[in-house]
Amino acid sequence: MRRLLVMNTLAICSLCSGCSRAPSVSIIGSFFPIWMICIVAGVVAAFIARAVLVRSGLEHHVGPVWLFYPSTVTLCACTLWEVFFR
């Protein structure tokens, strides 16, 4: 019983260690959370992807656009987060 309690305590402590502090960046003296910057960059990347797809005439091949572009924003934001801030 004591061993199970110790294992549960260690598991909970290891899970809570990631909640210590949110990374932030100072922009003109104001601190912004990194996730906000990644989302803005993801939206910009989705607009660029849309412009490329429209210009090449491939936008009608991507499926439902209401699902494709939010997924593109999420993919780009998460990729930026993993590459630059992890």
- The answer for residues whose C-beta is within 8 angstroms of residue 1's C-beta and 6 or more apart is none
- Give domain limits for the chain: 23-85
Average model confidence (pLDDT) across the chain: 85
Is 20 a residue whose pLDDT tops 70?
no
pLDDT digits (tens, 9 = 90+) for 43-73: 999 999 999 999 999 999 988 999 999 999 9
Number of Cβ atoms within 10 Å of the Cβ of 76: 20
**DSSP tag of 23:** -
pLDDT tens profile 28-48 = 777 778 888 899 999 999 999
pLDDT score of 56: 96
